[in-house]
Chain A
Amino acid sequence: MIFKRSASEINAGSMADIAFLLLIFFLVTTTMDVDAGITRKLPPFEEALVPQANTLHKRNIFTVLVNADNQLLVEGDYLELKDLRTKAKAFISNNGDGSCTYCLNAAGLSSSSDNPQKAVISLQNDRATDYKTYISVQNELVAAYNELRAELGQARFGRKLGDLNAQEMNELKAAFPQVISEAEPVGL
């Protein structure tokens, strides 16, 4: 009698158990959160505070103060956080000296910025301000710039921000340069 050698079937019943084990291992050791956030660049550290010659004209500075109770004082007036974006946009695209040819619905007020290149947003907060509020304020200010860029991108290239190439994006960034200056916190 000849033994017919045939490969006997491997029992695959425990395959599921092995896979489950691996699955549970990965579930436990990994996290799902993606690293994303608001990117900022800090100014270099100076040992002694050098008094800087203030070359900026007052009308070109948009001051945002946040106090310990998380309230906003924007350009000397109390403001709700949800109105900050509109106000910042109006300030940046004010076009006071008429040199900004692409500013849409520019108000041209004499108390607001000359042109987007000169416009500076100055942010100052209290040491007791909540981090949450601070991030919200930062977010609204960045959103103001992004909205202006998106509007210009739509008018100039007819596309959304995400669909633009690097060169077009740089053009928009040059049109609305983002200048947010942060002062050291003081008691407000």
Chain B
Amino acid sequence: MSKFKKKTGGGTPAISTASLPDIVFMLLFFFMVTTVMREVTLKVKNEKPFATEIKKLERKSLVTYIYVGKPTKTYEAQLGSEPVLQLDDAIARVNEIRNFVITKREEINEAERPLMTVSIKADENVKMGLITDIKQELRKANSLKINYSTRKGEVFEDRR
């Protein structure tokens, strides 16, 4: 009988997976902290333009969103290829904005109503005519604080 046991398996020993849950939890917490819940399903293309002089919107509860862009592939047959606007989950017409904004404003605590901001999330290929119509409707609804949603990046950089 030899003093040393012969190695039987010969292959590599199993890697301990005990720390795997810890690693995954770490990733989980990272994503929970850095991301926000998706509120609506986008039905329009939304590639926002780039800008450098941007301000962050602080109070999420005081922000109302208007999405503008061409319908995505799924909705193209239904909605055509011209830019449309989306309020919450539905595609809407420009004249519906006023009621939408007023309804949203009613939901906000009265003291904070003047702080309400409308964030226009428009695709960079939209023409200004539609944006102007939206702005006009917002003026009629007396919702004057707006924010043109952009991505952070240099304006002149060639991205193609």
Q: Do A and B bind each other?
A: yes
**In the complex, B127 has a CB within 8 A of chain A:** yes
A37-B37 in contact (CB<8A): no
Q: State in angstroms the CA–CA spacing of A42 and B152 once bound together.
A: 23
A-contacting 9-mer, from B4-12, B19-27, B104-112: B19-27
The residue of chain B having its C-beta at the shortest distance from the C-beta of A45 within the complex is B139
Q: State in angstroms the CA–CA spacing of A39 and B59 once bound together.
A: 14
B-contacting 9-mer, from A13-21, A92-100, A108-116: A13-21
Give chain B residues whose Cβ lies under 8 Å from the Cβ of A18: 21
B-side binding surface: helix, strand, loop or mixed?
mixed
Give chain A residues whose Cβ lies under 8 Å from the Cβ of B35: 26, 30-32
**In the complex, A51 has a CB within 8 A of chain B:** no
Give chain B residues whose Cβ lies under 8 Å from the Cβ of A32: 34-36
A31-B129 in contact (CB<8A): no
B153 vs chain A, min Cβ distance (A): 10
The residue of chain A having its C-beta at the shortest distance from the C-beta of B120 within the complex is A37
**In the complex, B119 has a CB within 8 A of chain A:** yes
B28-A29 in contact (CB<8A): no
Q: Most chain-B Cβ atoms within 10 A of its Cβ — which of A23, A126, A138, A140?
A: A23
Give chain A residues whose Cβ lies under 8 Å from the Cβ of B51: 37-38, 135-136, 138-139
B24-A35 in contact (CB<8A): no
Interface residues of B in 137-153 (CB under 8 A from A): 138-140, 142, 144-152
Cross-chain contact of A39 among B25, B38, B52, B147 (Cβ < 8 A) = B147
Given contacts A38-B51, A135-B148, contact A129 B127 (CB under 8 A): yes
**In the complex, B55 has a CB within 8 A of chain A:** yes
With an 8 Å Cβ cutoff, the count of chain A residues facing the other chain is 49
Q: State in angstroms the CA–CA spacing of A185 and B52 once bound together.
A: 25
Q: State in angstroms the CA–CA spacing of A134 and B132 once bound together.
A: 11
B139-A19 in contact (CB<8A): no
The residue of chain B having its C-beta at the shortest distance from the C-beta of A12 within the complex is B21
Q: Most chain-B Cβ atoms within 10 A of its Cβ — which of A19, A32, A44?
A: A19
Give chain A residues whose Cβ lies under 8 Å from the Cβ of B28: 19, 22-23, 26
Q: State in angstroms the CA–CA spacing of A128 and B140 once bound together.
A: 23
**In the complex, B94 has a CB within 8 A of chain A:** no
**In the complex, B82 has a CB within 8 A of chain A:** no
**In the complex, A132 has a CB within 8 A of chain B:** yes
Give chain B residues whose Cβ lies under 8 Å from the Cβ of A44: 139, 142, 144
13 more contacts with CB within 8 A, not counting A32-B35, A35-B60, A129-B128, are A16-B20, A35-B63, A35-B147, A37-B149, A38-B53, A38-B147, A41-B145, A82-B156, A131-B125, A131-B126, A132-B125, A135-B49, A139-B150
**Which B residues are within 8 Å of any A CB, using their own CB?**
17-18, 20-21, 24-25, 27-28, 31-32, 34-38, 48-57, 60, 63, 117, 119, 122-129, 131-132, 135-136, 138-140, 142, 144-152, 155-156
9 shortest A-B CB distances, which residue pairs? A127-B129, A30-B35, A45-B139, A132-B124, A19-B24, A15-B21, A139-B51, A142-B53, A35-B57
Chain A to chain B contacts (Cβ below 8 Å), 20 pairs: A12-B21, A15-B21, A16-B20, A19-B25, A30-B32, A30-B35, A31-B35, A35-B149, A36-B56, A37-B51, A38-B55, A38-B148, A42-B135, A44-B139, A81-B156, A130-B125, A132-B125, A135-B50, A136-B155, A146-B53
